[in-house]
Structure 1
Amino acid sequence: MKCTLVLVGTELLNGATIDTNSIYMAEELNKYGIKIAYKLTIGDSLEEIIEALKFAKKNSDLTIVSGGLGPTDDDLTKMAISKFLNKKLIVEKDELLELKEKFKNLNIKFLDKNHKEVEKPEGALSIKNDVGMAPAFYIDDVVAFPGVPRELFNMFPKFLEFYSKEKNRKVDPIYIKDLIVVGIPESHLEEKIKKYFTSPDIEYEFLVKDYGIIVRMQTTQVYKNTVEKIKEKIYNSIGKHIFGEDKETLENKIVNLLKSKKYSISIAESCTGGQLTSKFIDVPGVSEVFKEGIISYSNVSKVQRLNIDKNIIDTYGAVSKEVAKKMVLGLDTDIAISTTGIAGPTGGTEEKPVGLVYVGIKVKEKVSTFKFNFKGDRSRIRQKTVLHSLFELYKMLEEDEQ
């Protein structure tokens, strides 16, 4: 079964509001095996909403509308749906009384325009709003929800349960398996694994993220075993570049490894300015293994806080493998990471361009340094430094024999 999401609101188009509703709806729809075929974002225009409804009705089984159910003049969704379906708008007495009671309980004056919040096309089924004012409604395979996220989150599951029963659908949830890959360019990655996707029932795509590339495989539960077989082949091909699956993160996996090995960790950051430390602090329970994070941004800090000989900095420069190595040796935990680089946009030279980064990693007595030449703006270079620091540490920990 296919559906179309119609997101209504000029604020979604001009950047004033970030769309989170469609992400939530997609996750809930997956549970019922309903695939999103199209997602349309429409401004507060009666004509444009009607055109979106026409497209959705023609190209999908179910139309889901979010936004534009409020009491103000720019809330036009109900009028658009009523015109599209050729149904007059009505107000049911019990729903109006319930709405007025909500206003009374909140000590808010009820205005004539607030009647609009319980208007709906004649024959529509209302979906109770437990956390807000306007109920959602469903009619002729069109369902409309308020755009306020918490109100949508309250009503959407109730609607899906009702809808699956009404249609007497056998639920076959959508199954998604993500493999998170680091260290292979997207084009090379595809060349290595596309040969495994021969089944028309398995869709796959690549999602480039700051922390790596997600290989996403999507199907329904009935083909889950087929996905698992494909996954095994991918591991056999590029397993050393796969650091996790689904919601796993490098920092979580590293913290779990540190706990299992009873290792402690400290970090000395220059170019990343605390971003690497923040990744670890985000992990619940990290206090068992994390000692400290030092932002030794200046050369003076590197000398005073990490005991690096000033002559080494003068000879090789703060951005060098020698300094990266000394930074981790200045930390007294089992595991240590250091970052030093030129994030830009200025400060680069022909010999040491913007994007040059050195990462130092200490695992017990073994110390390694890694050189990278990243492309992008200041933020992107720092993000890449954090990612590759985590990945190199993860590999060293896996190789470590306690």
Structure 2
Amino acid sequence: MKASIILVGTELLSGGTVDTNSIFMAEELNKYGIEIKNKLTVKDSIEDILVALEFARKNSDLIITSGGLGPTIDDITKDAVAMFLNKKIIVDDKDLAIMMKKFEERQLTYTPNNIKQVEKPEGAVSIPNKVGMCPAVYVDGIVSFPGVPSEVYDMFPRFLEWFAREKDLLVDKIYIRDLLVYGIGEAHLDQIISGFFTEEGIDYEFLVKDFGIIIRLQGKNSNKNIVEKIAEKIYNIIGDNIFGEGNDRLENLVIEKLKQEKLSLSVAESCTGGMLSAKIVGVSGASEVYEEGITTYSNEAKQKRLGVKKETLEKYGAVSKETAEEMVRGLKTDVGIATTGVAGPLGGTPEKPVGLVYMGIKVKDRVVVERKVFVGTRNKIRERATLQCLFYLNKMLKGKY
């Protein structure tokens, strides 16, 4: 089955808003073996939406629209769909009652133009919206969603589950296994694993994310055992760089392991400037293990708060293995992380270039200090240092480092 995605919104073309909905949709469609034939972005114009619908109808079995379902005058997607299908626009009493109840429960002010949010082409099926006001609507091979990402994330998987049942797409659903890798580049990964894919219908792809690289293995459910055998081969070669699968994230894995081992954690940051702490406290339940985060940016703060020796700073400098080690040893919890480096874009020297970061990791009595040179903008260097710290700590906690 083939699908087309039509993104509606002048702001998407002007750069005022970045599209994330189609990325999410693509990953969900992939699970059902539905191929995206094309993706179109159009402004808030009946004529432009009609042209896009005509093109999509010729090239796909399912048309998905996102945006233009709100209460304002420029929200015209459902009008365009109704015009395209030669159907009337109606209001379903049940949809209206659900929306009015939401206004009451959320103590929001209802105005007459809000009724647009529950209008739909005659004969359309409504997909309940648990987040916002406007339900998605499906009719004659066209499904329309609001443009708000949280609402798409809520409704799209439920729509696909319903649609797959209706179209009998669950007979041999796509089996996907995502291996999460950190510390190996795309090109190297491709060289390592490409030879494993000799069976027809078993595919792989790399998805580069801010937390690492996803190796996505996929095939039909009937070939699940082949996918599993390939995954085992990959683990045998690069298992030390695979930190998890699916929805695992380094910060979640670290916090979970600390809880299991009943270990306390604190961090001392210089170049990362609180980014590491923010990553940790972004995990629900981190308070069970996380004691404190100290941003010791100046040399004076490193001495006063962490006990870094003045002689160490004078002899080796703030950005050094020796300083990173004293920083992390100055933390009094079971587990500690310290960062010191040159985030740039200024401050680099031939001996200590921009991107140089020393990371101290302590687990009980064991301390390891690693040196890395990261490439990128100031924020990107800080982000990469943060993830690298969590990667090292995760491996240490698992006894693999």
Shorter-chain TM-score: what band?
0.7 to 0.9
Deviation at 1:378, TM superposition (A): 0.4
Relative distance call for 1:249 and 1:129 in structure 2 (3 A) is closer
Q: Distance in 1 between matches of 2:210 and 2:190?
A: 18
**Highest CA radius of gyration, 1 or 2?**
1
State the match for 2:373 in structure 1. Answer: 373
One-letter code aligned to 2:282: D
Deviation string 1:234-275 (CA, Å, 9 cap, x unpaired) is 011111111111111122222233333333222111001111
Relative distance call for 1:155 and 1:277 in structure 2 (3 A) is closer
Q: How is 1:1-400 mapped onto 2 (pairs within 5 angstroms)?
A: 1-23=1-23, 25-26=25-26, 29=29, 32-70=32-70, 72-82=72-82, 84-85=84-85, 87=86, 89-92=87-90, 98=96, 102=100, 108=110, 110=112, 118=119, 120=121, 124-127=123-126, 136-148=136-148, 156=156, 159-160=159-160, 163-399=163-399
The 8 Å contact of residues 67 and 148 in structure 1, kept in 2 or not, is answered as yes
Q: Distance in 2 between matches of 1:298 and 1:46?
A: 59
SS in 2 for 1:333: coil
Q: Distance in 2 between matches of 1:28 and 1:309?
A: 54
Q: Distance in 2 between matches of 1:169 and 1:323?
A: 59
The 8 Å contact of residues 129 and 151 in structure 1, kept in 2 or not, is answered as no
Q: Distance in 2 between matches of 1:311 and 1:74?
A: 66
Relative distance call for 1:307 and 1:116 in structure 2 (3 A) is closer
The 8 Å contact of residues 71 and 117 in structure 1, kept in 2 or not, is answered as no
How many residues align? The count is: 396
The 8 Å contact of residues 181 and 243 in structure 1, kept in 2 or not, is answered as yes
Q: Distance in 1 between matches of 2:129 and 2:290?
A: 43
One-letter code aligned to 1:118: E
Superposition CA RMSD, Å: 3.3
Q: Distance in 1 between matches of 2:62 and 2:100?
A: 31
Q: Distance in 1 between matches of 2:117 and 2:371?
A: 62
Deviation at 1:354, TM superposition (A): 1.0
Relative distance call for 1:344 and 1:168 in structure 2 (3 A) is closer
Q: Distance in 2 between matches of 1:94 and 1:369?
A: 64
Relative distance call for 1:92 and 1:294 in structure 2 (3 A) is closer
Deviation at 1:45, TM superposition (A): 2.9
The 8 Å contact of residues 96 and 118 in structure 1, kept in 2 or not, is answered as no
Deviation at 1:27, TM superposition (A): 5.8
Relative distance call for 1:281 and 1:156 in structure 2 (3 A) is closer
The 8 Å contact of residues 69 and 146 in structure 1, kept in 2 or not, is answered as yes
SS in 2 for 1:360: strand
Q: Distance in 1 between matches of 2:347 and 2:314?
A: 16
SS in 1 for 2:239: helix
Deviation at 1:110, TM superposition (A): 3.4
Deviation at 1:373, TM superposition (A): 1.1
SS in 2 for 1:392: helix
Q: Distance in 2 between matches of 1:149 and 1:16?
A: 15
For structure 2, list consecutive stretches of 5 or more residues without a partner in the other structure.
none
One-letter code aligned to 1:317: G
SS in 2 for 1:208: strand
Deviation at 1:176, TM superposition (A): 2.1
Deviation string 1:26-56 (CA, Å, 9 cap, x unpaired) is 5654565534343322222334323322332
Q: Distance in 2 between matches of 1:368 and 1:98?
A: 61
Q: Distance in 2 between matches of 1:357 and 1:176?
A: 36
Structure 1 stretch displaced more, 158-167 or 301-310: 158-167
Relative distance call for 1:75 and 1:253 in structure 2 (3 A) is closer
Deviation string 1:178-226 (CA, Å, 9 cap, x unpaired) is 1111222221111011111223312211122222211112333332222
The 8 Å contact of residues 181 and 212 in structure 1, kept in 2 or not, is answered as yes
The 8 Å contact of residues 196 and 230 in structure 1, kept in 2 or not, is answered as yes
Deviation at 1:352, TM superposition (A): 1.4
Deviation string 1:36-83 (CA, Å, 9 cap, x unpaired) is 343322222334323322332222211112223456543343454355
For structure 1, list consecutive stretches of 5 or more residues without a partner in the other structure.
none
Deviation at 1:381, TM superposition (A): 0.4
One-letter code aligned to 2:59: N
The 8 Å contact of residues 68 and 74 in structure 1, kept in 2 or not, is answered as yes
SS in 2 for 1:192: helix
Deviation string 1:335-383 (CA, Å, 9 cap, x unpaired) is 2211000101111122212111111122222222111111111000001
SS in 2 for 1:399: coil
